[in-house]
Amino acid sequence: MPPPPPPKLGRAEKQAGIDAFVTARNGKLDAAAISECYKAFVDPGFVAKASHALRVCFPDRADQYVVECFRMKPEQDRLYDIRNAINHGDVDADNPSELLRVEDRHHRLWMIVFGMLGLIIPIDRPLDQQ
């Protein structure tokens, strides 16, 4: 069983982290620093949480899976972007090349999802051949 995600910071721990962050920058924060601080201490966001889960479940393949899910170029081949396109009805079902692109990425997503499920419930985990 994989370890649980890191515990959420309590109010005092968040404030101490924010104070240290601000102090390290001599109290001068630009918009990028404010965004970085928010992500570090208040809400890391979906990509950070999902990347953590991938690192816990697949220590040897996590970097590859994070790239495939969130950083791959071109962006339309990212698993997360394909999921969004399907969810918003932006996949052209009449275009054979579009269907091939989605079908190819479907296999990769299946490998990741069932690999994670195999850690939680007793199923035969698929072996990633790539």
Q: What is the pTM for the complete model shown?
A: 0.69
Asked whether residue 32 falls in the same domain as residue 82, the answer is no
pLDDT tens across 32-86, in order? 999 999 988 888 888 988 998 999 999 999 999 999 999 999 998 999 999 898 8
pLDDT at 1: 44
Q: Is residue 84 part of a domain?
A: yes
Q: Is residue 103 part of a domain?
A: yes
Residue 113 lies in domain: 45-120
Q: What is the DSSP secondary-structure string of 6-30?
A: PPPPPHHHHHHHHHHHHHHTTT---
pLDDT at 68: 95
Between CA 88 and CA 84 the distance in angstroms is 6
Asked whether residue 114 falls in the same domain as residue 67, the answer is yes
Asked whether residue 81 falls in the same domain as residue 112, the answer is yes
pLDDT at 122: 76
**Overall domain count for the chain:** 2
At residue 2 the predicted structure's pLDDT band, cuts being 50, 70 and 90, is very low
Asked whether residue 51 falls in the same domain as residue 18, the answer is no
Q: Is residue 129 part of a domain?
A: no
pLDDT at 114: 87
Tokens of 6: 């890191």
Query: What number of residues does the chain have?
Result: 130
How does the average pLDDT of the chain come out, rounded? 87
